[in-house]
Amino acid sequence: MAGVAADLNPHFAYTVVYVKDVGKSAEFYSKAFGFNLRRLDHSRRWGELESGSTTIALTPVEQHETEITGGVQIAEKDQPRHNVELCFTYRDVDAAFKHAVKAGATAVSDPESKEWGQKVGYVRDIDGVMIRMGSFVAEPTK
């Protein structure tokens, strides 16, 4: 089976975030988290943010694709989080966290050092999506 999987040569291309207003969310992600806007189509129904090798795509909650796949469960700020979170890494997590909150993100948990060598804090975006803001994981010490 390993040979078949290797022959597929997959690439993780997009993480799609369903939002209420693509233009507003694109501006928020740029301002709060520092991503550059790659593309916002003329209909404002698709936006792309530069995030390295994987693109963060923004698209409306209600559209044909969501109708044929069963709809989208909206992340609500006062409800338990979904089973997926977006994770962004920063050299200075404390400064990035403060910047995101000042730009409109909702603070969930201030950055704290974890036993595996990473500093992590959590915010929610303007649509309630959980965002982990962390440092790069430190190399284990011997």
Query: Is there a contact between 100 and 133 (Cβ–Cβ < 8 Å)?
Result: yes
pLDDT at 39 exceeding the cut of 90: yes
pLDDT 10s digits, 12-34: 889 999 999 999 999 999 999 99
Q: What is the DSSP string of 82-129?
A: -S--EEEE-SSHHHHHHHHHHTTPEEEEEEEE-TTS-EEEEEE-TT--
| DSSP letter assigned to residue 35 | P
What does the pLDDT read at residue 34? 96
3-state SS class at 139? coil
- Residues with Cβ within 8 Å of 77's Cβ and at least 6 positions away in sequence, in order, are 106, 124, 128
pLDDT 10s digits, 63-100: 777 778 887 887 777 777 777 899 999 999 999 999 99
| Position with higher pLDDT, 71 vs 131 | 131
What does the pLDDT read at residue 138? 67
Radius of gyration of the chain (CA): 17
Q: Provide the whole-model pTM.
A: 0.85
